Structures are given as C-alpha cells and as structure tokens.
Structure 1
C-alpha cells in the first residue's frame, strides 16, 4: 500500500483540519477584505497596495523608500514599481534626499494630498460592512499586530 493510500484510509486529525488553521483564517479573511476594498478603491483610482502606500504618506509625508518598505513589509522590488505607478498618476513624487543623494524620499503631490479627502469614506464603509463595533475591530487589529510581531521574532 502506498503512502498516499494509507493517508486517506484514516481520518485526518483535527490539528490538520483546514478550519483549524490560523493561517487559512488570515488568508481567507485577507482575500475577502481585499474584495470588499476593490470597488471602494476603484472609485478613487487606487489599487489596494497603492492605498496602503497612500495611507502611510497621508500619515507622514516624505519617508524614504526604505522607511516606506519597512512600514509596509514590502521589499524594494515590489515597492519601486508601485511608486512608479503612483508617480505616473501624479499622486507622489520621488525626490533625492539633499542630505544623502543615495536616499529617495517619497512626497505627496497636491493631487495626492487632495485624494485623502476622497479616501476618508473608505474606513467607514469597511466598518459598516464588517457589522462589528469599532472597539472590537481595534482590539482585533492590536491582536493581529501582536501576532505579527511574535511570528517575526520566531
């Protein structure tokens, strides 16, 4: 009898059930969340990754590319094309840091700053769709951030 045949003739232990996997709960929730965001972001002309970049910039304009990457957990190979598309849309400008020419700072353009007003309705729509109280979502966010930090130390 092959290993494959042997594995299917006994029930899988609960430890291996899909619905008991935290990774699947996070993955499937992330997919669902991204689907929820899509029409909201389409209305303001952003993709989900672009929205994340813009959120960081609306919070603090002018980070370096490396600071932005650290904040978003993205490497420069992923971030650079994203920033080029935002620059082509006239939402951000990439500028060499005058104090250190090796560093590139990302700054909002007037159009990028103005887009923030259009984006202000997005979190409220997501909150309504979640049918969850704001304090509960904030607690969940803190739990997920703590889990991310713990996994990052593993």
Structure 2
C-alpha cells in the first residue's frame, strides 16, 4: 500500500475518532466535573493510578514543578482522602504517595466514564459488525503496546552508548 493511501486512511480514522470523542464527551465529562479536582490534582491521580505509587521526587519530575508545589497538591489530595503517604519499604527516608480506596474509585470512574453508553451503542450492532470491531481494537492494542515498549526501551538504548 502506498504511503499516500496509508496517510489518507490514517486521516480518516483520526477524524472518525475525533467525532466519537465529541459524541461521548458528555458522558465522560460528568465524573471529571463531579470530582472537583484541579488539573494538577487530576494529573497526579491519573499517574498514580497508572503506576501504583510514586515518591515526591518522581511526582516533581512528572509534573515539572517544585517539590513544594507537589507537596501542596498532595496535601490537598490527602485531605480529600484520595491519596496517602507511606514509608518506602526499601528506603525509609522516602515517602511514597499511593491512591486510597476512594482515590482508586475516583480514578476508575474517570477512566471508565462513558462505558455504559458505549456498551449500549455496541448492542445496536450485529455480531459480524462486532467481530470487525473486536479485530480492529485488538490490532490497535497490539500496535499501542509495541509503541509503548519501544518508547520504554529508547532511554535504555541511549544509556548503552
């Protein structure tokens, strides 16, 4: 397949995805508005949800702000019972920030928002149509996993030189 054909198909997929995002936006935005989180608080919660926990220094690097700023954000998240601090089992000088049960539920609600509507929409489709979507999403997940693995391997390869 010629590069221009691939580019045309990619552009069509991206436009369709954009349309879907707007159609599902209302369902997905409700948990964000209900949570009453600032953008920095949301970023930290999502990072912790993906990684399982982080030190203050890791959060500082991730956020690109001062340690004092991170401490203030984490203090507010602790006050709302979304995160808690624990001693790092490998280094007692380090405090790790992890999600509480309430924090995990909040992240889950945000990440999974819109799934009820998505399931309702998928039920409108025939079994053969659903099989096409299953195959397409499996292919997409495989490509994303390969991209993530390559991205993670790049810094390691750079350190070897």
TM-score calculated relative to the size of structure 2: 0.48
Instruction: Spell out the pairing of 1:61-80 with structure 2 (5 A cutoff).
Output: 61-80=52-71
Runs of at least 4 residues off by over 6 Å? none
Q: Check conservation: 1:41, 1:48, Cα contact below 8 A.
A: no
Deviation per residue, 1:16-39 (Å, 9 max, x gap): xxxxxxxxxxxxxxxxxxxxxx98
- Partner in structure 2 of residue 105 of structure 1: 96
**Larger helix proportion, structure 1 or 2?**
2
- Structure 1 residue 121, shift from structure 2 partner: 6.0
The TM-score with structure 1 as length reference comes to: 0.50
Given candidates 83, 87, 90, the residue that maps to 2:78 is 87
> Counterpart of 1:55?
46
Deviation of the 1:69 alpha carbon = 1.0
How do residues 15-34 of structure 1 correspond to structure 2 at under 5 angstroms?
A: none
* Cα pair 1:90 1:109 within 8 Å, conserved: yes
Give the count of matched residue pairs: 88
Out of 101, 114, 118, the residue aligned to residue 105 of structure 2 is: 114
1:55 aligns to what SS in structure 2? helix
Contact conserved, 1:62 with 1:105, CA < 8 A, in 2?
Answer: yes
1:41–1:47 Cα contact (<8 Å) kept:
no
Bigger RCO of structures 1 and 2 (CA < 8 A, at least 6 apart): 2
